[in-house]
Chains A and B, each alone.
Chain A
Amino acid sequence: MPVCAPACVRLKLILFLLALTLCCGSLPARASDDALRTTLLQLHDADFDSKATLIETLAALDHPRVALILNALSASQLYYQADPERIVIGTGDGAEITIEDAVSGAALGPVTKRDLERITTNNQMRSLIEDRLASLGLSSADPQQRRAAVESFLRNPDPAGAERLKARLAVETDSKIKELLTLSLALVDLSSPDAAVRTKAAEALGGQLQPEIRGQLAKAAAEDPDPATREAAQRAVSRTEFRLQLLGGAETLFFGLSLGSVLILAAIGLAVTFGVMGVINMAHGELMMIGAYTTWLVQQWLPVNWSLPVAIPLAFLVAGLMGIAIERGIIRFLYGRPLETLLATFGVSLILQQAVRSIFSPLNRSVATPDWMSGTLAFGPLELTLNRLVIVGFCIAVFALLWLALQRTRLGLEVRAVAQNRAMARAMGVRSARVDALTFGLGSGIAGVAGVALSQLTNVGPNLGQSYIVDSFMVVVFGGVGNLWGTLVAGLSLGVANKLLEPWSGAVLAKIVVLIFLILFIQKRPRGLFPQRGRAAEV
């Protein structure tokens, strides 16, 4: 190593020099600080017309501080200081202003306002500055800045800037920015004197969602002198509208799916207790409430971001144990008498509600949302709220787990056996009483888990359960008792139907319409969408 050292150093030096010359050759010469300073000083005392020329000159200077200075000028933060004579950028209101040198960026500390003289601007200059800044950004090395520059051009299209865009388009490598550039150019072409160019531009702009493009297109569609262009613009507008409708539809679908997931979560535990066991559990909503309160309690002890992973199994346990207690204490004496079960569990629900009211106060508790669940996720132009997205995923996970538990575990096998033929299952050695208790516990536990999810969406209070009980029974009955897939389909379709109806009827009316539809539906198909067939259906 030490032997070759001088040679290495020499080689590096040559390479460095080579690189330097190459760079200098490819870039235009950097403007010196002095040139910038001289131009800036002319701003003082200049009238608006000459200021505009000076802004052009500034923009043409290739100096890293130009963008900053122009921004400051546009924001009325550029000042002239007489002694020592220089141009500064000042921030702050009131008597004291913190200044920095416009050219070097050196901080000069606070001075009194009287020492400074603001360099005035008007709106015409501001738009000129914005335009010039746009073209400055266009040649920036940072793709984000380039993109911002094109977007600002889109907002404020100016035929004069078109040449710069064209030049940029020729060398641009980023495909996204290329697309934006093409759009911007088309937007400029839309006001070209040549009708054929306008027609082509209108065709290119169809289906774009940016409000400026939509505005210009609508204007062209209404008042362009050339009929062919008008027609093309009208076609483009309808294409945009179609895309907007599609987007709105996707959004509604997502809201519907998310409402559907909530309904499924609320109903799926019921599908186990009602569907598999035939027990009407009116306290189901209150078991969800217990799950939600468990979440709240966990959040009192753990940081919010960690609370949910702890709350989910805990809520499952708490609600599940409560369910087993209800089954062992009350329901097992009432098998075969569904109407009495309904009344007794309703009594339980009243007791649980009042218990929560007495222990936690009748007021709503606020459950915090973890950071990783707040915010939105953008899919192109579609923005989805993260917490609803998580709930949809959670619903799928719970459904899959439950399905696996019923299909692949020994308990699931026994549950299905007892549901199909209790006497035969007992004859085969299944302890049906134990299976009943565990099944009810499973259904209740899922209600508790659903409560954790609900705590992220609605207020957690003693009435939480009540507001879901009618809905969740509807989902189970609509889907067909004893059929998990039916519950899934029913929940999703009711959720989507609700959200589809909402825009033209309002939320409450949509709910009423859905309820009436369900009442009518049950007349037509009393056993739901997917009725059980065979002997089990006769019970």
Chain B
Amino acid sequence: MRLPSWLLSDRAGLILLAALAVIGIVVPVLNLLVPADHPLHLTAYTVTLLGKYLCYALLAVAVDLVWGYMGILSLGHAAFFTLGGYCFGMYLMRQIGTRGVYGDPVLPDFMVFLNWKELPWYWHGFDQFWFAALMVVIVPGLLAFVFGWFAFRSRVSGVYLSIITQALTYALMLAFFRNEMGFGGNNGLTDFKDILGYPLHADSTRIALFVLSALALAGGYLVCRWLVSTRMGRVLAAIRDAEDRTRFLGYRVERVKALIFTFSAMLAGIAGALYVPQVGIINPGEFSPLNSIEAVIWVAVGGRGALVGAVVGAVLVNYAKTWLTGALPEVWLFALGGLFVAVTLFLPYGIIGLLRRREAMA
């Protein structure tokens, strides 16, 4: 079997895929087969943490697709991520069944607590895995499509678009904080028990989720890489660099934008859906504008317009976050803030840009 040319020429991408394949094999081995007292043993905590990074990386790839290739700085991508997470969280919630605190076979605990008598209409169907899995892409996709369709058709662009995407996620955050919305209000959805009948806290389930995340990231990367290597990808770059000219050449810019924006939102939704069972909770705080901006900074650090950069940035920044918030909690926000400033001032193309420049000079 020959690899297609768009993949063969993408050396960084091949390295990334190889790395994903390696950790996809090594991590399960180190966690499941190496005995617990061995120094090389990976704890369940570490596996979950790595799985979380992979979900963030997928979100970063989604952000990079719209920002790096199409020039749309979305400050609301965490909204799509969180919506995907909520859709899957609803499935996990329904799986709890009678094992909740109140033991109601249909209603989740928080609804019993709020004295709700029956399930709201939008909760129906989420007891089926296939339905929830479908909703994970449909709900964020639909929101992004409607939002994007209107915004791009009326040519809202640049900082205006950034600000209204931020308003969108802010409005969603406020809405989900309300108990009346029926999504658990402040506490969100949590206390999950199992997924497809497998207990969520078992090592094997965690490993399966981890491997799934790695696969999703690899798949997401491949689709995006393929997308940007097609004619469509050229149109994206053209829109980024000279939107008016592209329009004058006869391309329906707003349609392309809406389509890619929707696709990116779906990817973010998948990332969120994989994130929730690993972390074990989803709450409205995930909608906060800060989260969306953090996703943008992952891409900026790694290097935008290079999908590998998004992955590298997401993993590096989140690793730094895990390490700093543990070791020096005071310093984390200084470091993150400094990173924003330093990257925009000195590294406009991120780490990948730095590496490429080295290569070009050598």
Tell me the A residues contacting B by CB distance below 8 Å. Answer: 280, 330, 333-334, 338-344, 346-355, 357-358, 470, 473-474, 477, 508-509, 511-512, 515-516, 518-520, 522-524, 526
Q: Could you pull out 15 A-B pairs where Cβ atoms are within 8 angstroms?
A: A330-B345, A343-B340, A343-B344, A344-B341, A347-B340, A351-B333, A354-B333, A473-B166, A477-B160, A477-B163, A509-B178, A512-B175, A522-B160, A523-B153, A526-B154
Q: Which of B215-223, B255-263, B293-301, B307-315 contacts A (4 or more CB under 8 A)?
A: B293-301
B316 on the A face (CB < 8 A): no
B150 on the A face (CB < 8 A): yes
Report B360 CB to chain A, min CB distance, Å.
23
Query: Which residue of A has the minimal Cβ distance to B150?
Result: A523
B195 on the A face (CB < 8 A): no
Whether B344 contacts A340 by the Cβ 8 Å rule is: yes
| Neighbouring B residues of A470 by C-beta, 8 Å | 166-167, 170, 289
B338 on the A face (CB < 8 A): yes
| Neighbouring B residues of A516 by C-beta, 8 Å | 171
> Given the complex of chains A and B, what is the CA–CA distance between A473 and B166 in angstroms?
10
Query: Which residue of A has the minimal Cβ distance to B171?
Result: A515
- Total of A-B residue pairs, C-beta within 8 Å: 118
B44 on the A face (CB < 8 A): no
Q: Return the contact of B330 from the options A340, A354, A509 (Cβ within 8 A).
A: A354
Whether A344 contacts B171 by the Cβ 8 Å rule is: no
> Given the complex of chains A and B, what is the CA–CA distance between A338 and B156 in angstroms?
15
| Neighbouring A residues of B340 by C-beta, 8 Å | 343-344, 346-348, 350
Query: Which residue of B has the minimal Cβ distance to A279?
Result: B159
> Given the complex of chains A and B, what is the CA–CA distance between A333 and B171 in angstroms?
33
How many residues on the B side are at the interface (Cβ–Cβ under 8 A)? Answer: 42
Known: A343-B340, A347-B337, A347-B338. A519 touches B164 (CB 8 A): yes
Whether B156 contacts A349 by the Cβ 8 Å rule is: no
| Neighbouring A residues of B155 by C-beta, 8 Å | 526
Q: Can you list, as one digit per residue, whether each of B263-297 has a CB less than 8 Å from chain A (1) or not (0)?
A: 00000000000000000000000000100010011
| Neighbouring A residues of B158 by C-beta, 8 Å | 338-339
Query: Which residue of A has the minimal Cβ distance to B175?
Result: A512
Query: Which residue of B has the minimal Cβ distance to A350?
Result: B337
Report B77 CB to chain A, min CB distance, Å.
14
Q: Can you list, as one digit per residue, whether each of B325-362 has a CB less than 8 Å from chain A (1) or not (0)?
A: 00000101110111111011100100000000000000
Known pairs A342-B159, A347-B339, A515-B174. 17 more at Cβ < 8 A?
A343-B343, A346-B337, A347-B341, A347-B344, A350-B336, A351-B338, A473-B167, A477-B164, A508-B175, A509-B178, A512-B175, A515-B167, A518-B167, A522-B151, A522-B156, A522-B160, A523-B153
Whether A333 contacts B167 by the Cβ 8 Å rule is: no
Known: A358-B330, A526-B156. A474 touches B300 (CB 8 A): no
Q: Return the contact of B333 from the options A338, A350, A473, A523 (Cβ within 8 A).
A: A350
> Given the complex of chains A and B, what is the CA–CA distance between A358 and B329 in angstroms?
11
B168 on the A face (CB < 8 A): yes
B162 on the A face (CB < 8 A): yes
